[in-house]
Amino acid sequence: MTDAPDFKRRLRDGDPVVGHWLSIGHPAVAEVCARDADFAVVDTEHAPTDIETVADTVRAVEAAGDGTTAALARAAWNDPVRIKRLLDTGVSGVLVPMVETAAEAREAVEATRYPPEGVRGIAGSRANDYGRDLAEQVASGGDHIVTVVQVETERAAENAADIAAVEGVDALLVGPTDLSGSLGVFGEYDSEAFRETVESVLDRAHESETPVGTLATSEDEIRRWSDYGYDYQIVGTDAGYLASGAERAHSAYDDAMR
């Protein structure tokens, strides 16, 4: 199990950490992507990933990163039971989607904390070496967990300052697809409405020194988001890497056979 405090510190200090998005749900794919990465995110919101697959994928990320790559998981929803089950697999932290208010952000944080600070159930699991380190983990209060909340709607962007200021929120992650859709400019990432909204999220979050990241799906987007001023990036998805690689190979073959 990867120790998360160093990753939390790097986020807090503004280090430009880089990660990958895992949606295929196979440990071998996770191993390929996780090498030399600072973190990797296992998706359970849109990907058909069950909890056992999450656990195996987390093991693969940790092995590939030689214990230095933080394995995170995105919950399907801001729900304490879903979040608890992900944490029990031994992930270093969680991404919580569609958080729109400070109250919802507090609920997300509470789901990662043991009582009395939170509502996470106490049990032996991979996260505490199957009970061997349970007392130590409970005593830590969940401070070792990275909690990232997603800004994906216009309402969330308007409340970004309050969300970012919630104690226990370690970072924000802008979901560009959903946010652009919410603004009525789906996929128009160079539009004035989208750019101004993202800039406002960055400014508001930085008031409380909370880092803001996003997801890129191409090299052009990596450069675009860097120009926007994001603090960290997820630089692509496993399925995207496979698709683009296959397309390039097919194109090269077509060119060679002409």
Q: Are 27 and 56 in contact (CB under 8 A)?
A: yes
Active site residue 250: no
Enumerate the β-bridge partners of residue 22: 42
Is 120 strand, coil or helix? coil
Closest by Cα among 206, 212, 240, 239 to 226 = 212
Q: Are 167 and 157 in contact (CB under 8 A)?
A: no
Closest by Cα among 52, 36, 38 to 90 = 52
* CA angle 193–189–191, rounded 5-degree value: 35
**Assigned token pair, 223:** 């450069």
Number of other CB atoms surrounding residue 216 within 10 Å: 22
One of 20, 26, 46, 206 is an active-site residue; which one?
Answer: 46
Catalytic residue numbers, as ranges: 46
